[in-house]
Amino acid sequence: MANTRDEIIICRCEEVTLGEIREWIAKGYDTFDELKRVLRVGMGPCQGRGCRDLILREISKMTGKRVDEIPPGRFRPPSKPVKLGVLAKGGNDE
Amino acid sequence: MTLPKTANAVIIGGGIQGCSIAYHLAKLGMKDVVVLEQNTMCSGSSGRCGAGIRAQWGTEMNCRFGLACVEMFEHLEEELGMDCGLHQGGYLLVAYQEAEFEQLKKNMKLQNSLGVDTKVISYDEAREICPGLSADDAVGFTYHARDGHADPMLTTFAYQEAAKRLGVQFYKFTRCTDVKTLNGKVAGVTTNHGDIDTPVVVNAAGGYSQQVAKMAGIELPCFSERHEIIITEPVEQGVCPPMLMSFSGNYYIQQRPHGSIIGGCSPEGHPEDYENGNSWGFLEKMSQTITSLLPRTRGVRVVRQWSGLYNMTPDRQPIMCEADTVKGFFLSVGYSGHGFMFGPVSGELLAQKILGREPWISIEQLHYNRFEKGELIIEPAVV
């Protein structure tokens, strides 16, 4: 099922293509968190802001499930990348 | 989803232990092996771990296990047909107290006698291995070059995929709710998706091992501690080539091949609530530890923090055995924070035990009845 669309990069942080995502959904990795663990989608600095919806839609297309039936995956802190040096200074002295 | 009505073995837990045991059972010829996972494969402790692999241990058994694991990881990609992300940058152990350094040297002697090529190195040598390391207050270092880390998720999935090719069936979102026994033998399991009759049940439930054991009427002295961890954005290689670890310093820090730096430590209080929660206190403390050891990381950004459960036993050694009271009920639990690295070997050893063969490294000592007998095998080298 080679398709030129397979070359499209869906997760820009980790450079994961639509083709790779489709390949793993076909192997049964049909939740966001499974794809995250096997392909690193959503593990980069944007934490899935760019790719999560696109991937959930692709899972929906391939499995026939509605998007709201697919586990959306965990959101982990911090919500935006923060420098180690800033975190090391602590949060109480301003 | 339809579960099979019968199986030759049902494994509870889709982490590294469950997937490795399943693969080895199938490889040794067992048919109709089923793995049940309450969430998705590798969603528990395996997929949350610090990824380290080491042979620098303080007991003979762990040195043997550790070295066997290092050797197995070195050939795992060929064996399973998938890249497992192995990186052998060594473990650089840092001692901050004289007594601790003495213990590391004692461990090293034991390791050397068992074929593990650990050596004491100077601060200058440590800084060659880990450029930019700032550890002026350290009293000594040991290093074993073949230690390192691998990708716990890819490794677990590699076992799953290889096991699938051998006919093993995996069921996610399938929670075991009861282990049925009859006349002192395993008869089957009950799950949220139906029952399976089976003569063999394997408890590979990681952080939930004590709950699954209870289903078979067995009380394990295990408990689950929450440990936290952070990862940074990827940066250029060379920031932390070895796994930098200290028992008294209470940290481990490493850089994965794709550039992210991972760091973790033992939290104070060790919450035992089965919640994989996150704390601000850990984020702050870990950031202080990383930036003081590796000052040039100050500008590197943390992208994510998470946590996982260490399934602890009283002597911090795993439980691998068949239950005395319930024949056919096997356990591979209580890895106390080193279940991922032991997974390739422990899976093979337990599969051999299940099939009535002699495990190629003896696991006799790892029966849970050692706790009643007082025959603990205390491991000194654990973060």
Residue pLDDT, tens place only, B250-276: 999 999 999 999 999 887 766 677 878
Place of tokens 């006799």: B364
Does residue B295 share a domain with residue B261? yes
Query: Cα–Cα distances in Å, from B44 out to A29, B214, B219, B367?
Result: 16, 19, 22, 24
Query: Within this chain, do residues B161 and B305 fall inside the same structural domain, yes or no?
Result: no
Mean pLDDT in residue range B93-116: 97
Q: A45: distance to nearest CA of chain B, Å?
A: 6
| B302-327 average pLDDT score | 96
Q: Across A1-94, where does the E strand assignment appear?
A: 9-11, 16-17, 82-83
Between B40, B42, B302, which is nearest A81 by CB?
B302
- Position B380 in a domain: no
pLDDT band at residue A1 using 50, 70 and 90 as cut-offs:
low
CATH code, domain carrying B347: 3.50.50.60
Mark yes or no for CB contact A43/B304 under 8 Å. yes
Answer whether B287 sits within 8 Å of A84, measured CB to CB.
yes
Kindly state the average pLDDT of the residues A12-34: 97
Domain total in chain B: 2
Q: Is A23 on the interface with B (CB under 8 A)?
A: no
Q: Pick from A37, A45, A78: which is nearest to B153 by CB?
A: A37
How confident is the model over A9-22, as a mean pLDDT?
Answer: 96
Is residue B206 in some structural domain?
yes
- Residue B106 scores a pLDDT above 80: yes
* Partners of residue A83 in chain B, C-beta under 8 Å: 298-302
| Sheet strand arrangement including B176-182 | B176-182, B185-191, B194-197
- Please, what are the domains in chain A? 4-88 (1.10.10.1100)
Is B289 inside any structural domain? Answer: yes
Confidence of residue A52 (pLDDT cuts 50, 70, 90): very high
CB-based burial of residue B110 (10 Å sphere; 0-12 exposed, 13-18 middle, 19+ buried)? middle
Interface contact flag, B302 A84, Cβ < 8 Å: yes
Report how many helices (DSSP H) and strands (DSSP E) chain A contains, helices first. Answer: 4, 3
Give the confidence band of A3 by pLDDT, cuts at 50, 70, 90: low
- The answer as to whether B57 is a domain residue is no
pLDDT at B277: 84
Q: What is the CATH number of the domain that holds B298?
A: 3.30.9.10
Could you tell me if B186 and B102 lie in one domain? no
Average model confidence (pLDDT) across chain B: 96
Question: Is B381 inside any structural domain?
Answer: no
Q: What is the DSSP letter of A67?
A: G
B3: in domain = no
Mean pLDDT calculated for residue range A82-94? 84
User: Does residue B110 lie within any of the structural domains?
Assistant: yes
* B65 domain-assigned: no
pLDDT of residue B382: 76
B313-328: average pLDDT? 96
B356 and B340 within one domain: yes
Amino acid at B10: V
Is pTM, for the whole model, over 0.90? yes
Domain that holds residue B319: 9-47+153-222+315-373
ipTM of the predicted structure? Answer: 0.94
